[in-house]
Chains A and B, each alone.
Chain A
Amino acid sequence: MRLVVLVVAVGILSALVTIFVVGFMLHRPPMLNAVANSNGEGVKIHLEVVGSVNSAIEFPRPTDPHPTWVSYLPTTILKVPANSLVTMQIDQEDTPSGLRNPFWAQAQGIVGGTFHMTYFDNSGNPQSGDFSSLDDPANAAHTFAIPDLGVFVPLEGVNAAAPAGSMNVITFSFMTGKAGTYHWQCFVPCGSGTIYGNGGPMQTTGYMAGFLVVQ
């Protein structure tokens, strides 16, 4: 009789462990659907990049388990239609970290080869312009890159002279092709405190790693 109790207890324990592990494994960040672009051409996605989740301005995530991690907000799983023009607006609020490979300072794979950026110069004055690359790779804070689509866009860090709470707004467009799931990532080693800067948020979906779901 006691043996039966033992076997049943072990069975329940195993089931609980299994449910816990499976629950962990299946957890994914939410998906963001692209909305139709206001000027009628394709779709648009608006993202925010922050130096730490708890300093988010537009898309706060108060219950995030890693409030000090760098992150793209609101989420990193983006859904866009196939064979269409996707316009991205990225509000970049983080300070510069610098690219390890300066090759990524060039924008590649975007429509017209240029991105439009509003930023702050060394005196703290707002400026804007169209660029095909960053002047100084050391000024990069992050990149938005979809390697399988050949899209690589550097995101300049907010100048130290800019007023608090400033952001650089980078806008660019690219074309999607056939349906599929494409990963996207950042090429700046911005995982603070991790070896070579590529741990932590860089390797966790929902922060600096995600998918472009093309359907």
Chain B
Amino acid sequence: MSRTDRTHALRLLVAWAVLSVIGVVIAMQVHLPPGNQSQQSTDTTSLLQLMLIISTPVFIGVVLFILYSAFAFRQKAGALEDGPAYHGNFRLQVAWVAITAVIVFILAGLGISGLAATSSGTNFTSSTQPALATASVGTSTADRLQVQVIAQQWYFTYRYPGYGGVESLHLILPVDSNVVIHVTSTDIIHSFWAYQLGVKADANPGVDNLAYVTTLQTGSFTVRCAELCGIWHGNMVDTGGAVVSQADFATWIAGLQKAGATQVLPPYQPFYFPSPRVKGT
């Protein structure tokens, strides 16, 4: 590397280091959603924060290089000189590829460990363990509160199989509980997205898709549909979801059971095939 190369490189490195430190400090102050209402949303928030912090020096580095080159390496006005005939530098190329590979594998590793702790899904049966379960999510699906989310065009309803299969308009969950959500659809593909709980699972017809939530704080949450399902997809919103104290939950669900709606409903099933498939056939 010639002396001029070293000068430019040093200037860039120092500027990058300084700006990156400032950038990372700012990135750490950014308050990212979705918040702390559940273990899953807490994990998602910290993962998003981490990725923001990792992206900041990368972003600053690239933008700094572009701006620096635009000013430092300009053609003099009216001239038509060639630059030096650099064709490549094998070691530099290998170093770049190696460093990006290392960052990628670190991120992938973080993601995989995050997968083990947050929502996992399986389909077609509800009795098997999720593949990457750890102790923090509970070792058996039987210990958890079972909730079924039935997606239909264009509203979600919720059934509680452990309480006689009662069905309700809003998703009410007790705090400090491990919940397994069975998501299914009675017609087309929807997606159950409980924003503040950090849960998203597609609702497929004829499929029992699982998502896991560990509730940490009381409060309300919004449930939306996140997969285009026709005319009212954007309106398929329920702001009445809530995480309540365990006592309030017990009262509420007892009220539902007494309301007698259960008699009208068919027995709980992991998924329901819509019928008829086509009206008039």
Complex contact flag A–B (Cβ < 8 Å): yes
> CB-nearest residue of chain B relative to A106?
B261
Task: Assess the A103–B274 pair: CB atoms within 8 A.
Answer: no
Q: Which of A97, A145, A197, A203 contacts B231, CB < 8 Å?
A: A203
CB of A103 within 8 A of CB of B235, answer no
Contacts of A187 in B (CB 8 A): 152, 155
CB <8 Å contact, A100 and B235: no
CB distance B265 to A191 under 8 Å? Answer: no
CA distance A185 to B235 in the complex (A): 11
Interface residues of B in 142-169 (CB under 8 A from A): 150, 152-155, 157, 167, 169
On chain B, the residues within 8 Å of A102 by CB distance are 264-266
Return the contact of B230 from the options A100, A193, A198 (Cβ within 8 A): A198
Chain A, 59-86, CB within 8 A of any chain B CB: none
B232 touches A137 (CB 8 A): no
Task: Name the contact of A192 in the complex, choosing from B232, B266, B279 (C-beta under 8 A).
Answer: B279
Q: A162-180, CB under 8 A of B: which get 1 and which 0?
A: 0000000000000000000
- Residues of A with C-beta under 8 A to B186: 100-101
Q: Do B279 and A194 touch (CB < 8 A)?
A: yes
Output the least CB separation between A106 and chain B (Å). Answer: 6
Residue of B nearest to A205 (CB): B231
B279 & A197 in contact (Cβ 8 Å cutoff) = yes
Is B278 a contact partner of A195 (Cβ separation < 8 A)? yes
| B88 contacts A by Cβ under 8 Å | no
- Can you list 11 residue pairs at the A/B interface with Cβ under 8 Å? A101-B152, A103-B265, A148-B235, A191-B279, A194-B278, A196-B277, A196-B278, A198-B153, A198-B188, A202-B230, A209-B232
A197 and B276: CB pair below 8 A? yes
Report the interface size class on chain B: 20 to 34
List B contacts of A157 (CB < 8 A). Answer: none
The SS class assigned to the B binding surface is loop
A147 lies within 8 A of B155 (CB) = yes
Task: Name the B residues within 8 Å of A204 (CB-CB).
Answer: 231
- A122–B261 Cα distance when bound, in Å, is 25
**CB nearest to A136 among chain B residues:** B264
> Does B187 sit at the interface, judged by CB under 8 A?
yes
A209 adjacent to B274 (CB under 8 Å): no
A103 with B231: CB separation less than 8 A:
no
**Contact call B264/A190, Cβ cutoff below 8 A:** no
Give bound CA distance, A191 to B276, whole Å.
12
Residues of A within 8 A of B266 (CB): 102
11 further A-B pairs in the complex, CB-CB below 8 A; given A100-B275, A103-B264, A203-B230:
A108-B169, A147-B238, A183-B235, A187-B152, A189-B279, A193-B278, A194-B278, A194-B279, A196-B188, A198-B187, A202-B230
Asked if B157 and A103 make an inter-chain contact with CB atoms under 8 angstroms apart, the answer reads yes
When each residue 127-160 of chain A gets 1 if its CB lies under 8 Å from chain B and 0 otherwise, what string results? 0000001000100000001011010000000000
Point out the residues of chain B lying under 8 angstroms from A197, CB to CB.
276, 278-279
Identify the closest chain A residue to B238 (Cβ): A147
In the complex, which residues 109-162 of chain B have their Cβ closer than 8 Å to any Cβ of chain A? 150, 152-155, 157
**B280, CB-defined interface residue at 8 Å:** yes
List 10 A-B pairs, minimum CB-CB distance, nearest first: A196-B187, A197-B279, A203-B231, A103-B167, A183-B235, A198-B153, A192-B279, A192-B280, A102-B264, A196-B274
CB contacts under 8 Å to A, within B255-281, are: 261, 264-266, 274-280
Residue pair B264, A105 in contact (C-beta under 8 Å): yes
> From B185, which residue of chain A is reached at the shortest CB distance?
A196
Q: Do A106 and B264 form a contact, CB below 8 Å, given A97-B279, A185-B232, A192-B279?
A: yes
Q: How far is the CA of A187 from the CA of B187 in the complex (A)?
A: 12
Q: Which residues of B lie under 8 Å from residue A192 when comparing CB positions?
A: 279-280
Chain A residues near B150: list those with CB within 8 A.
101
Closest A residue to B188 using CB positions: A196
Query: Inside 8 A of A194's CB, which chain B residues have their CB?
Result: 278-279
